[in-house]
Homo-oligomer: A and B are copies of this chain.
Amino acid sequence: MEKLKKRSDCPISGSLDIFGDKWSLLIIRDMMFFQKSTYGEFLKSAEGIATNILASRLQSLEEAKLIEKLDHPNSKAKFLYNLTQKAVALLPVIVEIHLWADKYFDNPADVKKKIKEVKKDKNEFIKSLAKQLEKQMEATTSSNRTSINTN
């Protein structure tokens, strides 16, 4: 449906072509930090994404290979969206956004607490969360993979 066209060969520009919008990184956030993995869970996020936008973002994230769509192990009515390595590799970016936001926004107490933890040892935080996410990936990736659209 949507084409993945690069506007230039600049790495920032190319990255923004993939996740430079108001929603994509929030879906990634939900998967990384809140263990969300289904359409319904993403819909419930505080920001209130519209259903059609969510569907379109999930599709483009899948096309960009940041997420994988799998059959849900416990229900045929659901699908399970999983992060890929490529998305997990975005963790440093997301952490740095947090640190920036920490400097310039008034964040809620629980967020501040988490950021404080990050600041203690950034690399360690990233490494250990990445490891954890990869463990989750392995646990589910072994199951059925949904058709990868090729239109």
Contact = CB atoms under 8 A, between A and B. Distances in A.
Interface of A: 7-17, 20-22, 25-26, 29, 45-48, 86, 89-90, 92-94, 96-105, 107-108, 111, 115
B89 A93 contact: no
B8 A47 contact: yes
Copies of this chain in the oligomer: 2
A113 to B, nearest CB: 12
Contacts of A102: 11
A13 B90 CA distance: 16
B22 A17 contact: yes
Nearest to A115: B11
A70 B99 CA distance: 28
A12 B93 contact: no
16 contacts: A7-B22, A7-B46, A7-B47, A9-B108, A9-B111, A10-B47, A10-B111, A11-B97, A11-B107, A12-B97, A15-B101, A15-B105, A21-B21, A89-B103, A92-B100, A93-B96
